[in-house]
Amino acid sequence: MGNICQISISCDGAFFNRCLDCFLGKAAYISNLQDNLVALDTELRKLIAAKNDLMRRVNDAERQQMRRLDQVHVWVSRVETVETEAGAFIGDGTQEIEKLCLGGYCSKNCKSSYKFGKQVARKLRDIKTLMGEGVFEVVADKVPEPAVDERPTEPTVVGLQSQLEEVWRCLVEEPVGIVGLYGMGGVGKTTLLTPINNKFLGSPTNFDLVIWVVVSKDLRLESIQEVIGEKIGLLNDAWKNRRIEQKALDIFRILKEKKFVVLLDDIWQRVDLTKVGVPLPSSQTSASKVVFTTRSEEVCGLMEAHKNFKVECLSGNDAWELFRQKVGEETLNCHPDILELAQTVAEKCRGLPLALITTGRAMACKKTPEEWSYAIQVLRTSSSQFPGLGNEVYPLLKFSYGNLPNDTIRSCLLYCCLYPEDCLISKENLIDCWIGEGLLNERAEFRVQKEGYYIVGILVHACLLEEVEEDDVKMHDVIRDMALWLACDAEKEKENYLVYAGAGLREEPDVIEWEKLRRLSLMENQIENLSEVPTCPHLLTLFLNNNELLRRINSDFLQSMPSLKVLNLSRYMGLCVLPLGISKLVSLEHLDLSTSLISEIPEELKALVNLKCLNLENTCLLLKIPLQLISNFSRLHVLRMFGNGYFSCGDYPIESVLFGGGELLVEELLGLKHLEVLSLTLGSSRALQSFLNSHKLRSCTQAMLLQDFEGSTSVDVPGLANLKQLKRLRISDCYELVELKIDYAGEVQRYGFHSLQSFEVNFCSKLKDLTLLVLIPNLKSIAVTDCEAMEEIISVGEFAGNPNAFAKLQYLGIGNLPNLKSIYWKPLPFPCLKELTVSDCYELKKLPLDSNSAKERKIVIRGAANWWRNLQWEDEATQNAFLSCFQSLA
């Protein structure tokens, strides 16, 4: 029998219902396809509208510097995906509907229609889901502040690049907390600070915050707090209304937990960081930094900066490179003559970046030599008329002028523009003029000259004057032009300057212009005659100095200057007799006759009872000063008589106060109650002793010349050491002088000569050594000439009590010392020496130098070529080290 197969089919109701539902569901995807496609299109349009409404809200928020929420971003991305997919279904829907039959309940391709219908139904559900999820009360939140805000900047000026790197190294490598960048206006401090800010972007310094704050002249702590508050997320309307102390606490609470950098641009006075709320960075840790820019070195001190950097003007090459960038190669190559003219224009800017940029841009379209020549003329004579200088550069510099403490100091600054451009201005002579004009306070004894030096310091620290060594200042040409722009303003009757200093004049300017003047400078010209008679009722200062060709002054020239207070006739080599009418200048307070050829001071000068400053220095032919003339000037604060009568050989007339070596002069000086500055020439040991007996004269003497000490074999060195203000000492023509006697173990080496900077000895034929020099700790200049007996400069074996002798020496000059064999027996360090000059000292075979002397090798050694060839050196290394330092005295 065969096998029988039996199949049993369950007729369970639940199973049947499930099968029916499955069939009907699949059939529904086909039967509902047309309706679902219509619904899909409708719901998709609604979804797109909802997305568009949402994106308008998002865009509005982003325009307000807000950032869309992540959930909004995800939802929009999902919508865009669904939108693409649903659009494709709707596009294919027509084709799929054509496959339907039996009234839409069946399909010619059931499998395809079923699959498509199922996808449409699912996408419709997705859209409805998205519609439900797309309700957002908030679509964006505030963007968190970046650690560093990149600031727009032009390419770094070539000359500032090295300083940028130096400051950056300081910030990231050195344990300093507060750093100051100071310099004159327009020199590029902000230009330097901007790339420093940007260097924190992406640098591995791990600072949490870099905050830039522009402070400017009108300091408001609240404004600084708001900038910082915005950066650290505190700023809102409620916070703005909190008290400054409360804001400071809030700022401090956040910043103390962070490693921050605060960049304060353009501060003019001390910013109290604790009142702002900024934790004070320590000099012992590099955790946080405060960097600021200022025009005043004084502000660096007030800010207690741990390190300061002076932003200097550009060097010649860097200045020219910046200028040619702004002018452009096309203009510079337009004509063969333009390049040289352009260099002249650039030089006029003296390396000040703002002036270089301004003038460079102004000249970029000037393509003929005539235009460039005219520009040079304008810059030299009336620079305020040059495009950009009068309305961009000078007003910016004027902020520094306006920020000076008072009108007196502003007037003192303007006074400096009476001197030629690029001129070294002696501090002491400048202060003498200020005293003569009455600009300084005379109420306190010994205050006037000190106040003058204090004001010089203010102007130097404000970067309006540049200090040259310790004795001189100079005015940057662009600052001077700005000062002239202010001082020569005809509307400012208070100032009203006329300045032709160094202008190359051969004839006097039209005196009609002088009538309303208060200050007139004709110094450093080639004027031969002053033949006109001006009327100058308001004139206070007249500079006629350094006119070497001037031979004649009209006898009535000074008659109509009743208000004149300052008259400078110094370095007027044609001045042998004082101009007639000078005794009529009864208002005169400062008279400078230094370095002139006058031989006599007339008796009539006693009428100048208001004199406060009288300068007779280096009047080498002066023989006669009438008795009681000096004592008649009872208001004198400053009397300078160093080097007067130098060529007289002591042959003074008996009616001169100079007769007898100066004893009579000393007696007259004792009666000058207001005297605070004295330079003096004495010609006898008796006069010197009389002088040394006066505490008052000792305390105010700054320079002394001892000459023609007939019969004196020694000088009272301990007495000279008690001159606490003595800066310059010269001993000359003392032919009997054998020694400068001093006890090297005594008190003088501990207490004396601390102010002395310059020491000169000449024509002392019997003097054997100058061992005294080891006791002068701050010497900067030594000159020794024409001392036939001198065999060595320093004779002691060691510098007992002063191991740092010559530590500040900058110049050493020796000449015509035929028997000199040694300066010192062993090498000296000379850390500051700049120049060593040796002439006619052929027995000097060895210099006190070795490989450790003047380590930077910036020293210049001058002498005869054959002397140099025969020198003996410590070793070959020393000889090689100094080989390039030699310059032949041809």
Q: Where are the domains of the chain?
A: 14-142, 158-310, 322-381, 391-495
Lowest mean pLDDT among 217-231, 244-258, 337-351, 384-398: 384-398
pLDDT band at 11 (very low <50, low <70, confident <90, very high): very low
Report, as an integer, the average pLDDT of 670-689: 92
DSSP 154: P
Look at 10 and 884; give whichever has higher pLDDT: 884
Is the confidence at residue 105, as pLDDT, over 60? no
The DSSP secondary structure of 724-751, one letter per residue, reads TT--EEEEES-TT--B----TTSTHHHH
Whole-Å CA distances, 118 to 23, 89, 109, 700: 13, 11, 14, 111
Of the candidates 87, 81, 99, the one whose C-alpha atom is nearest the C-alpha of residue 33 is: 99
Look at 356 and 120; give whichever has higher pLDDT: 356
**pLDDT at res. 20:** 38
* CA dist., res. 846 & res. 821, Å (int): 8
Look at 444 and 600; give whichever has higher pLDDT: 600
**pLDDT at res. 275:** 94
Lowest mean pLDDT among 258-262, 385-389, 470-474: 385-389
pLDDT band at 667 (very low <50, low <70, confident <90, very high): very high
Of the candidates 156, 182, 152, 185, the one whose C-alpha atom is nearest the C-alpha of residue 389 is: 185
**pLDDT at res. 333:** 92
Is the confidence at residue 7, as pLDDT, over 60? no
**pLDDT at res. 18:** 41
Lowest mean pLDDT among 348-352, 490-494, 717-721: 490-494
Look at residue 599 and give its three-state secondary structure: coil
| Mean pLDDT score of the chain | 85
Is the confidence at residue 757, as pLDDT, over 90? yes
Report, as an integer, the average pLDDT of 220-243: 89
Lowest mean pLDDT among 156-170, 625-639, 744-758: 744-758
Is the confidence at residue 443, as pLDDT, over 80? no
Residues 853-858: contacts with CB under 8 Å, at least 24 apart? 853/827, 853/828, 853/829, 853/878, 854/829, 854/830, 855/831, 857/881, 857/882, 857/884, 857/885, 858/834
Look at residue 387 and give its three-state secondary structure: coil
Is the confidence at residue 134, as pLDDT, over 90? no
Helices (H), 64-157: 70-97, 110-133
Look at 31 and 189; give whichever has higher pLDDT: 189
Lowest mean pLDDT among 230-244, 345-359, 482-496: 482-496
Is the confidence at residue 763, as pLDDT, over 90? yes
Report, as an integer, the average pLDDT of 117-133: 79
pLDDT band at 236 (very low <50, low <70, confident <90, very high): confident
Tell me the per-residue pLDDT of 450-459, one tens digit each, with 9 for 90 and over.
Answer: 899 999 999 9
Q: Can you name the CATH fold of 158-310?
A: Rossmann fold (3.40.50)
pLDDT band at 697 (very low <50, low <70, confident <90, very high): very high
**pLDDT at res. 812:** 95
**pLDDT at res. 196:** 92
Lowest mean pLDDT among 14-23, 360-369, 768-777: 14-23
Helices (H), 134-177: 158-173
Helix 33-63 to helix 110-133 angle (10° resolution) is 30
Model confidence, pTM: 0.80
| 8 Å CB contact between 677 and 590 | no
DSSP 624: B
pLDDT band at 6 (very low <50, low <70, confident <90, very high): very low
**pLDDT at res. 3:** 44
Phi, psi of 483 (to 5 degrees): -65, -40
Residues 743-750: contacts with CB under 8 Å, at least 24 apart? 743/718, 744/771, 744/774, 744/775, 744/796, 744/800, 744/801, 745/800, 746/718, 748/717, 748/718, 748/721, 748/775, 749/775, 749/800, 749/801, 749/802, 750/801
Is the confidence at residue 110, as pLDDT, over 70? no
**pLDDT at res. 840:** 94
CATH 1.10.10.10 fits 391-495, yes or no: yes
Look at 117 and 321; give whichever has higher pLDDT: 321
pLDDT band at 167 (very low <50, low <70, confident <90, very high): very high
Look at 821 and 61; give whichever has higher pLDDT: 821
Give me the percent of the chain exceeding a pLDDT of 90: 47
**pLDDT at res. 857:** 65
Look at 42 and 748; give whichever has higher pLDDT: 42
| 8 Å CB contact between 885 and 855 | no
| 8 Å CB contact between 250 and 234 | yes
Same fold? 158-310, 391-495:
no
Tell me the per-residue pLDDT of 195-222, one tens digit each, with 9 for 90 and over.
Answer: 999 988 877 777 889 999 999 888 889 9
Of the candidates 307, 296, 310, the one whose C-alpha atom is nearest the C-alpha of residue 179 is: 307
The DSSP secondary structure of 802-856, one letter per residue, reads -TTTTTT--EEEEES-TT--BS-SS----TT--EEEEES-TT--B-S--TTSSTT
Is the confidence at residue 2, as pLDDT, over 50? no
Is the confidence at residue 5, as pLDDT, over 50? no
**pLDDT at res. 549:** 86
Q: Which H or E run includes 101?
A: strand 100-101
Tell me the per-residue pLDDT of 588-617, one tens digit each, with 9 for 90 and over.
Answer: 999 999 999 999 999 999 999 999 999 999
* Residues of the chain by 3-state class (helix, strand, coil), percent to 5: 40, 15, 45
